[in-house]
Amino acid sequence: MEKRSELYRGKAKTVYQTDDPNRLVLEFRNDTSAFDGEKVEQLDDKGMVNNRFNHFIMTRLEEAGIPTQLDKLLSDNESLVKKLEMIPVECVVRNIAAGSLVRRLGVEEGKELNPPTFEFFLKNDALHDPMVNEYHIQAFGWASKEQIEQMKTLTFKVNSVLKSLFEQAGLLLVDYKLEFGVVDGQLVLGDEFTPDGCRLWDAKTREKLDKDRFRQGLGGVVEAYREVAQRLGVELS
């Protein structure tokens, strides 16, 4: 496999073409951003931790029968993945109230949500990723009704797999964001699952061990990511 030209540089990852038209390289950078890119910092080792973390989680999801982009780990900061036609929406499941839900509805952070909730957001930084519903997604052609149903089913399946995985590590999976894409007509989990895109709290102390440490200026961001990785048994370099 040969890495070729840069295809896209996002806020935290760079995507490269390869000599195989069906494969891309995802490079996880140390850049950490919040508030639609308004706050940006370089955090040593974050790219390595997230790349290895993502590989570990996607492997567990594959084992549970969820189709993912996963091909293989290439280096500390790079993974080889299937090239997907990304659907421009984010799928968010919440087990506990936090973040934008708390701000939007004025509910108390930490309230357990029964049932867990599901939300779609449009991927659009200029519009601050507005919340959209299934009618918007269909009407504007971002995904079909069938793909919408599959995204919901798979996102909840991820919840049942990961909630118990994190629980065994003494962690609460508060909420998370997933992105899907399509290859050969199949809906596949893409992008990443890392502490940059989910909320994880220590089950006993409710200490925040995710990107909220960065958003809220709590410090110890990568240390927290490392702690989570170590509890799960993710191999770091």
Local structure of 223: helix, strand or coil: helix
Q: Among residues 21 and 115, whose Cβ is nearest to ligand UDP?
A: 115
Phi, psi (rounded to 5 degrees) for 51 = -60, -45
- Strands 171-183 and 85-86, by their bridges, are antiparallel
Backbone angles phi, psi at 24, to 5 degrees: -130, 155
Cβ atoms < 10 Å from Cβ of 66:
18
Q: Which is nearer to ligand UDP, 39 or 145 (CB)?
A: 39
Given ligand ADP, ligand UDP, none, residue 213, with its beta carbon under 5 to 8 Å by kind, binds none
Residue 116 is a binding residue for ligand UDP (CB under 6 A): no
Is 47 one of the binding residues for ligand UDP (CB under 6 A)?
A: no
List 24, 25, 92, 171, residue binding ligand UDP (CB under 6 A):
92
Measured CA distances, 214 to 24, 90, 208, 226 (Å): 29, 21, 10, 14
String of b and e for 121-133 (b: at least 16 CB within 10 Å)? bbeeeeeebeebe
Q: Is position 213 an interface residue for ligand UDP (rule: CB under 6 A)?
A: no
Q: Is residue 214 at the binding interface for ligand UDP, with CB under 6 A as the rule?
A: no
Residue 93 binding ligand UDP, by CB under 6 A: no
Q: Which of residues 95-114 bind ligand UDP (CB under 6 A)?
A: 99-101
The minimum distance between CB 110 and ligand ADP, in angstroms, equals: 27
Report the C-alpha gap between 135 and 92 in whole angstroms. 17
- Residues in region 127-166 near ligand UDP by CB under 6 A: 129
Q: How far is the CB of 83 from ligand UDP (least distance, A)?
A: 21
55 binds ligand UDP (CB under 6 A): no
Based on the shown chain and the rule CB under 6 A, indicate whether residue 221 belongs to the binding site for ligand UDP.
no
What tokens does 84 get?
């997907």
Complete DSSP assignment for 89-146: EEEEEEEE--HHHHHHH-PPTTPEEEEEEEEEEE--GGGT--EE-HHHHHHTTSS-HH
The residues binding ligand ADP (CB under 6 A) are: 8, 10-13, 15, 24, 69, 81-84, 86, 179, 181, 190-191
Nearest approach, Cβ of residue 101 and ligand ADP (Å) = 20
Residue 31 binds ligand UDP (CB under 6 A): no
Contact set with ligand UDP (CB under 6 A): 90, 92, 99-101, 129, 175-177, 197-199, 211
